[in-house]
Every structure is written in structure tokens, then in C-alpha cells.
A and B are shown apart, each in its own frame.
Chain A
Amino acid sequence: MSNDVKNPAPIDRADERVTHAVGVGGAIRAFLDRVRSGDLGSLPVVVGLAVIWSVFTALNPLFVSSVNLVNLLFDSSTVGVISLGIVCILMVGEIDLSVGSVSGLASALLGMMWVNQGWPVWVTVPAVIFVGGVIGWIYSQLFNRFGMPSFVSTLAGLLAFLGLQLYVLGSSGSINLPYETGLVKFGQVLTMPHAVSYVLAALPGLFMLVAGMRRMAQRKLGGLSAGSLNALALKASAITLALELAAFYLNLSRGVPWMFCLFAGLVATMNYALTRTKWGRSMTAVGGNREAARRSGINVARIYSSAFVLCGMLAATGGVLSAARLASASQQAGTGDVNLNAIAGAVIGGTSLFGGRGSAYSALLGIIVIGSIASGLTLLDLSSSLRYMITGAVLAVAVIVDSLARRSRVSHGRA
């Protein structure tokens, strides 16, 4: 059916006034044009990451050691899951400032129910995540029914759930989780066997290739332009090569953490949901133009609710993971910079604070930036005072880049 003689021009290429990128070179040119007009995508974060890594490596070569990078992945995964929830809520143009407190409450509840009350872990963890969902649902009701700005309601929640966390922990102030359990091992030591890590590292590229070729075949069948197979193959093999190399390097020490695999799996699932489902389309639409979404028959209140609930559930999941990582539920859990790191991760990764723009991968990329800064500064033996200041500055730079890129997009007609 893909006979080009019968059907010379695909129906989306009939207008000859428009230039279209062709082949590998075209794909690269199109990318450069996009960047110039302010559609930066994940470029700033990749550049930022390269700068941060070179600086820290120059200051302390241990930074890029396999051991340190494995630790980095363990640490990043906990906050990364919280950051994924922030991506969700930012997509609809709202914010949740209480994710830190919710994660702290989740770890306290985990300790209380699992260790003190003796509930089985497979009941406790879903229950704790459910509580996170309920908290998100409360925010969504405040927002939908009373028009309470999420900024205020979650700020109130920040304090309220910190209080609840302290109440749950009681006078002791912290609950230690038993070391010899699956959950704590998962959070502290469990890494993949080498063979598994190589197989998993090959999956994204393979999937990209198969899905891309299927899409090309379908488009050709439908009489649409299909794009270049070479560009696709190049992209897929570059990604596969990078991931296999990363897996090889991490396998020099402890290997790839299962916890990171969970995080990456959540990111991939969220990416699919945001880009390939009606729900994701609705999320983007609500974040871009709420009134237009409402008139298109989208149930806007339900979309907001889903975003708040997902954010709460992911924050609670992050709390469970960080409790497992630290093998304790303490008063400090979820306080300090957890909130800021989660939000900064999403924004640094390229999710817009203004709603309607972003991707699940921004949580992954952004949190690695944040984690690298924390890890590098710890290696340099700098105090947390400096760490806070530097992380704050990085967040400020990320937001400035976001605002400038947004202005440029508007003037180039790409908003």
C-alpha cells in the first residue's frame, strides 16, 4: 500500500509554502530552530547537568565515581517520586506546597502502623499511599468547591500535616524501621543483577524503535508523511548506547538500584498517561486554557481532582521510600529542603510553573540535577547552609530560564 507513485504527496505535505524537515539533517535543523525560538525542552537541564558535573569532578574526582553515582540514584529516587507528583499538579497550572509535609506524614504513618501496630507491610504501604490520595482529594475539594487557591490551601496543609506528623510520632520523636526487612533493603541496598540491568537498559531504545516504526507504518497507510527512519534509528541507538554505558559504569560498584528502576518506571508510565491518553490531553488543555477546556466538554473539576490526588499519592509514596532509605521515620522527615527540592526538580527539568507545558521526564532530569548538587556539596564537606543557598540559586535560575523562554515562545508564536 505504500506505493509512492499512486500517491505522490502525503495529505499533510500538500501545502508547498511550508518547509518540512527531511531526514537526519532536517531533524537536527528543526531542533536548532526550536531552541532558538525559545522552545527549549530539556536542553537547559542537559547543559546545566554537564556544567555541574564538570565543576564537581574538578573539585573532587570522587564525585563521578561509580560508588557515588549509585548513592546519588538511591537518594534521587525518593524525592524524584515526589517531584513527579509536582509535575502532575504543575501541568494544570496549580501548585502543592505541602508535598514535603505529606511525605513526612506518610513516613510517620508507616512507622506507626507497620512497626508500632504490627500491620503487615503490604497493607501498610497501600494504606499510607491512600492517605496521601485523601489529602490531595481534600485540596481538590477546597479548590473546586470554595475556589480556594491551591497556593493557600497547600500552605495551610504544609503546617497542618507537619503537626499531624509530630502527633503521630508522639513523644519519642522517631521510629526505627527494622533493617532486615524487604522494604528497608529495597531502600538501602537492593540493586539489580548485572544481566538484568543490561536488558532493562536496552528496553527504552528498543521500545522507541518499535513504537516509532509502527507509527511510521500507520501514518504511511493513512496517507500522511512518515518521517525519517534513519533519524529514528539514530536517536534510538544513541539512547540505548548511553543507557548501556551508564549501566556498565554503575555495575562497576553496587549496580543499578531497584528503587531507581521503580522511579523510572513511574516516570515512563506518567509520560504515557500525559501524552497518549485522553486524560493527559485534558490535563494539558486545562493548564493551557481552562475555559476552552470547559467548553469542549471536559470535566474540569474532575481533572483538577485527579491532579491533586495523584500529587498527594506520589508524595506519600516518596515519603515511604525515604523512610525506607533512612530506615527510620523521624520528625525531620519531609522537612527542610524536601519541599523545595521536589518543586525545583520539576521546574529545572522543564515543566512550566505557568501550566500546560511539561513532561514526566522533567522530574527525572531535574531531580538528578538537584541530587548532583546535594551530593557534590556533601563531598566538598560544605555545610547545609551553603547547600540551601546554592539550591535556592539554581531554582531561581531555572525559573528565570522558564520565564525568558516563555516570553521568547510568545514572540515566536510557540506559546
Chain B
Amino acid sequence: MSEPPHAPAASPEPVLSLRRVSKHFGAVSALTDIDLDVRAGEVVALVGDNGAGKSTLVKILAGVHPPSGGTITFNGNPVTFPNPSAALDLGIATVFQDLALCENLDVVANIYLGRELSPLRLDEVAMEKRSWQLLNELSARIPSVREVVASLSGGQRQTVAIARSLLLDPKVILLDEPTAALGVAQTAEVLELIERVRAKGLGVVMISHNMEDVRAVADRVVVLRLGRNNGVFAPDATNAELVGAITGATNNSVSRRAERRAAAQSQSGAPSHE
């Protein structure tokens, strides 16, 4: 709370902290004893194979699913989210993979959807001003906030979705596959955006399949495998280490090639495996 807004380095105390969080769907354990810390001003990348439990974890944090066990601590207090708006009120905003924007509404209406100012006589001027302010903070390039979202590119839509999540001044923002559907230039734009959000002093949790993107912006890489923690890596960890942790196999094409290269150059680089 007492952090200055432009704190560039991560603060020592985590804003959001998970301890032994589990989730069962009937007989299936989607998540088992997950630990995760997110500090203000840091980007935590959540990586893992399909079915590793990344999306389930995000849904728990977004208040879509209640956890089956474990504790979630936010700003030092244990919390529970019975529904999505509870998580939002607390200060955890989520940008889902499909963005959930209404294409037939303009940018302002989408940013303020469900939270319109003065419900019986919409305050369009105040809403438009604040929308521009949010977009400018992200140095976003949106031609007009009175244009319907259907006319925007994928990257611009992602920008609108992120701007919307920032409307309520969250402490932590969760991004589910923010670059999955984007081209090269738009991906770069969104990664830039993530850095700006971090510079605002927010904790960012980013799910991604793309190791390049993860290395580009993440401060820490948390690997999930089959619903369990499988190591925390620095962003400069080698591909072999990450792929090994994600797949659980130490014998695959990536690791074999790495071994050959390592053998050729004798020994180099100890794994920062926790």
C-alpha cells in the first residue's frame, strides 16, 4: 500500500501470496499444493503444458472458481473470493484470453461496461475523459474512443481490455495468454504495455506458452506441471531447463541438443532450480 507508484524494483513483501492452494473437480486434482508470490512492480510468468492448471489457477484468483483448500493472502490478510466482483473489489483484475469485449459498443462503453457513471443519466464526458487518461497512461494508440471495438485490431483490443482492467486501480492484474492471437508487431506492443503496467507499480501475473515473450518481460518464471509447482526460474534460464521443467522429461529433442552443445563446450551454467 505504501509503495510509491513508480517503484521500478519489486518490493520484498508480496502483494498476493498463495500457500498450498488446491483445487479438485470431482476425483480430478487440477491443482495440488500450489505456492505463488506476486510482489508489487514485478511480472510473474506462469508457464506449463496444456492441463498443467494455469487457467484453473487464474480462475481461482479471479473468483470464478473457489479453491478446494489452501490459503490466499492479499496485502497480508487472508482472503476468499466468492464471485468475480469480490476479486475485482479487492484489487485483482483479470484480462481473460478471449478479452470479453462487446464489439457493438464503443471503447468508452466497453471500458466502463457494468460500472457506468450515473446510471440514470450516463456521464459520457467524464467517462470519455477517464478512458483517454487510462489509454494515455499506457501510451496506447487508439484512433478514437468513440469507434466501436469491432473496428480495432487485435493488439488495440488487447489494449482496451487491459485499460478496462486498470479502471478500478487494481493492485494485481492477471493476463491469460495476452499475446496468443497476435502478430509480431502487436505482440511487441502488448509486451511494451505489460512493462508500463509494471512501471505503475502493479503486480502482473502473465500466462503464456511463448517462451520468447516470457523471457522478454518476466521477472520470474513459475512452472506448473500436472497441477503442482515445478520450479521457479529466472528469465534468463535456458530453454532446456524451462522445457524440462514444463514437460518433466529430461530426455527430449531440446535437452539432447543442449547436452550435445554442453558436451562440446565442456561445462557451463548451473541450473537455478529451487
Contact = CB atoms under 8 A, between A and B. Distances in A.
Interface of A: 11-12, 15, 17-18, 20, 215, 218-219, 221-224, 276-279, 281-282, 284-285, 287-289, 291-293, 295-298, 356-357, 409-410, 412-415
Nearest to B151: A413
B100 A295 contact: yes
Interface in B93-140: 96, 98-105, 109, 113-116, 119-122, 124-126, 128-129, 132, 136
A22 to B, nearest CB: 14
Given A277-B122, A282-B114, A415-B148, A295 B96 contact: yes
B273 interface: no
B141 interface: yes
A11 B144 CA distance: 10
6 contacts: A215-B125, A224-B132, A276-B122, A277-B119, A285-B105, A414-B150
Contacts of A276: 121-122
A73 to B, nearest CB: 31
Interface of B: 84-85, 88, 96, 98-105, 109, 113-116, 119-122, 124-126, 128-129, 132, 136, 141-146, 148, 150-152
Contacts of A357: 104
Pairs of residues from A and B, 7 with the lowest C-beta to C-beta distance, nearest first: A296-B114, A278-B119, A288-B104, A413-B151, A415-B150, A292-B100, A18-B143
A292 B150 contact: no
A345 B128 CA distance: 34
Contacts of B88: 297
Given A289-B101, A289-B102, A293-B102, A277 B121 contact: yes
Contacts of A281: 105, 109, 113, 116, 122
A211 to B, nearest CB: 11
Contacts of A410: 150
Contact of A284 (B85, B105, B126, B146): B105
B148 A414 contact: yes
Contacts of A277: 119-122
Nearest to B116: A278
Contact of B113 (A223, A293, A409): A293
A352 B198 CA distance: 42
Contacts of B109: 281, 284-285
B136 A224 contact: no
A284 B104 contact: yes
**Interface residues of B: mostly helix, strand, loop or mixed?**
loop
Contact of A289 (B100, B132, B152): B100
B151 A285 contact: no
A218 B129 CA distance: 11
Nearest to A415: B150
B113 A356 contact: no
B122 A278 contact: yes
Contacts of B148: 414-415
Contacts of B144: 12, 18, 20
Contact of A219 (B96, B116, B119, B125): B125
Contacts of B129: 11, 222-224
A295 B84 contact: yes
Contacts of B124: 215
Contacts of A415: 103-104, 148, 150
Nearest to B148: A414
Given A12-B144, A218-B125, A277-B122, A298 B113 contact: yes
Contacts of A298: 113-114
B122 A12 contact: no
B132 A12 contact: yes
A353 B125 CA distance: 31
B103 to A, nearest CB: 5
A287 B101 CA distance: 12
Nearest to B133: A11
A224 B128 contact: yes
A18 B105 CA distance: 20
A224 to B, nearest CB: 6
Given A15-B143, A276-B122, A297-B84, A288 B105 contact: yes
Contacts of A215: 124-125
Contacts of B85: 297
* Most chain B beta-carbon contacts within 10 A, residue among A11, A278, A413: A278
A413 B128 CA distance: 21
A29 to B, nearest CB: 16
Nearest to A220: B125
A215 to B, nearest CB: 8
B117 to A, nearest CB: 9
A20 B122 CA distance: 24
Contacts of B101: 289, 292
B129 to A, nearest CB: 5
Nearest to A272: B121
A282 B120 CA distance: 12
Nearest to A297: B114
* Most chain B beta-carbon contacts within 10 A, residue among A292, A413, A415: A292
A11 B133 CA distance: 9
Contact of A285 (B84, B113, B125, B146): B113
B132 A413 contact: no
Given A224-B129, A281-B116, A297-B84, A289 B103 contact: yes
Nearest to B131: A12
Nearest to B142: A15
A292 B144 CA distance: 21
